[in-house]
Chains A and B, each alone.
Chain A
Amino acid sequence: MDHAAAQLEKQHVHDVYESTAPYFSDLQSKAWPRVRQFLQEQKPGSLIADIGCGTGKYLKVNSQVHTLGCDYCAPLVEIARSRGCEVMVCDNLNLPFRDQGFDAIISIGVIHHFSTKQRRIRAIKEMARVLVPGGQLMIYVWAMEQKNRHFEKQDVLVPWNKALCSQRLSESGQPGRKQECGHPERGYPYHPACSACHCSVCFEGRCNSKRSHSVDCDSVLAGTCCANISKEGEEENGFYNTLGKSFRSWFSSRSLDESTLRKQIEKVRPLKSTESWANSAISIQPSRHSSFDLGHPETLSAGEQNLDEEVFVEPSQGPREWLRAPTTCKQLNGDHPGVIRRNGDGNFLGGANAKESCVDEGNLEEGTASGSKLWRRISAADSTDSNPGDAISVEEQQPDVLDSRAFMRYYHVFREDLPILDLSFKRYHRLCGSFSFSSLTFLRLMCITLYNAY
């Protein structure tokens, strides 16, 4: 299970940051005030670690202390180094530091990238281990409750699409308009004159457009999006609104938390090409249980279906027939949510088989070409630990064009009922603290300050 978590993080955290790192090199983003304050409150001569430092935004805030930055992403670390910061490449889960070496630690926008609770706790434990008794740890993560958007799930994938920004850059007739793309705490790239930084909004799972559009947000559609954005935004707050909008687009990610996983996650084979879809034998194994992680297909009732009505479609005929349903596969052509198909006897098709089965052989020419991303939602029928009715989607991606155009970053957003305010570990780890919320204009964050009470 940890392997699956590592794989998810590799694809939707590490690879994304590595790929997008070049865009951050020219940008110096501002340190968040509370983090800045935290750092400046540390005593002179303190040793401070920024675990997940990115491009080193916080490494020079306080010149009276010695701050070490570390990050998993080597390209980002290189950027930080070039700015005169002392940095290294390491893993939050295995910090290469001796015990109790640091007087203070910051973890800004980091642990929400860990895909299981176990790993998040482990990350915190590691930071506690290297923290002196009485030392303070400040953690910033995305909050689940947001002002301008609504996360329905705690495990989400948020797109960041630089390519489309560039596209809009050339098409835009508004050179004076400044827009932002990307992730706030990562020092998102600054693209002047990009009037619609997120055409990936088009790809929002809930987009109602019936047009099948390819991954390349063509100018027509982009124009539509941009027009909408322009209408809604006030001039001076326009780009905030746009950025806020961009963060409104998100996808459910599969949840790998142990509480929701009952069975081993089957490794889903990525799709190779549409040709292979058409030609490969489609195997349907109704005996395979419904979802990767829980539930038994037969317990899925009509009532549960109501939660995700738009994605569940009853097949008209037997197992093979639904493969040809045109509506379904049109939706699959873009980044619309895919559908879970049931075969005739009411069983879900789980695993890779269902994914392959979602190919509409008849409609391949409709532009599924290599860019489609299939989504499936599976209701958590009888999970005891997750919320009843939680839908757990499985995101499956083709390792090609789409990946390079729509980077999806995984986040586990934190709820208000945070259980980690008093973490007692073995030996000399005991973290106590509090949490509060703070907001950038468009993003609500949870700020957790802990201290080592041992």
Chain B
Amino acid sequence: MEWHLQPRKKDSKVSNRIERDSPGNDVERDHSPSGSGFAGAGSVDMRLLTHNLLSSHVRGVGPRGFPLRLQATEVRINPVEFNPDFIVRMIPKVEWAALLEAADHLHLIQVPKEPIQGYEHNEEFLRKMHHVLLEVEVLEGTLQCPESGRVFPISRGIPNMLLSDEETET
């Protein structure tokens, strides 16, 4: 009868990792590892990998709506288990210029101008990219369309990309 239900998974493994990897961080916060095979129980906010996919859909803007200009008033670092294979596969999908710009706006560590030659085996590079793409989360901020200036809010980690009725009218 309960085929549709499944119990919540407890995330005891995760908290150990937090303490080991990021001693200065908020240890109460669980994280949601990506590519690690385990589902976390904490909340996840907007990450730069996601920002890299976002584009303005304001009428008439088209491809000039990418990338959205990211401003953040509240950011947190949420450790994620490092999965090199995952990052290697993700690198070719990244729009690099957009990532550079976003990382810059968040005052993050210097991101390489482009993927390093032989990045697949360069752990330092991969770890850096892992950090930038998956561990930096925006809780509060804005995303601005570079063409129209329209601002989309990020609140409680959730971007709201809805346009108003007037903006979407055909």
Contacts and interface: CB of A to CB of B under 8 A. Distances in A.
Interface of A: 2-3, 6, 27-30, 43-47, 60, 63-66, 68, 70, 72, 74, 77-78, 81-91, 93-99, 101-102, 178, 184, 187, 190, 236, 239
Interface stretch (B47-55, B69-77, B111-119): B47-55
Interface string B76-109: 0000000001101110010100000000000000
B149 interface: no
Nearest to A87: B158
Nearest to A440: B4
Given A30-B4, A98-B54, A66 B34 contact: yes
Contacts of B53: 47, 68, 97-98, 101-102
A222 to B, nearest CB: 22
A47 B93 contact: yes
Nearest to A98: B55
Interface residues of B, number: 54
A85 B55 contact: no
Given A45-B89, A74-B160, A83 B170 contact: no
B50 A68 contact: yes
A27 B41 contact: no
Contacts of B159: 88-90, 96
A89 B152 CA distance: 11
Nearest 5 Cβ contacts at the A-B interface: A45-B89, A96-B161, A84-B32, A90-B161, A98-B55
B156 A78 contact: yes
B23 interface: no
Contacts of B56: 96
Interface in B1-56: 1-8, 30, 32-47, 49-50, 53-56
Nearest to B55: A98
B128 to A, nearest CB: 17
Instruction: Tell which of B1, B90, B157 has the most Cβ of chain A within 10 Å.
Output: B1
Nearest to A132: B93
Contact of B86 (A64, A83, A190): A64
Given A47-B93, A60-B39, A178-B2, A94 B168 contact: yes
B1 A84 contact: no
Contacts of B6: 28, 30
10 contacts: A28-B8, A30-B3, A30-B4, A44-B89, A45-B93, A74-B160, A88-B50, A88-B158, A89-B159, A96-B161
Contacts of B54: 96-98
A60 B8 CA distance: 12
B85 A45 contact: yes
B77 to A, nearest CB: 15
Nearest to A93: B168
A70 B49 CA distance: 15
B66 A28 contact: no
B124 interface: no
A43 B89 contact: yes
A74 B158 CA distance: 9
Contacts of B3: 30
A81 B6 CA distance: 18
Contacts of B130: none
Contacts of B156: 78, 81
B151 interface: no
B131 interface: no
A81 B43 contact: yes
Contacts of A47: 53, 90, 93
A325 B30 CA distance: 65
A77 B158 contact: yes
B168 A45 contact: no
A28 B4 CA distance: 8
Given A6-B165, A44-B86, A96-B56, A86 B47 contact: yes
Contacts of A97: 53-55
A84 B39 contact: yes
A95 B45 CA distance: 19
Instruction: Tell which of B7, B162, B165 has the most Cβ of chain A within 10 Å.
Output: B162
A94 B158 CA distance: 17
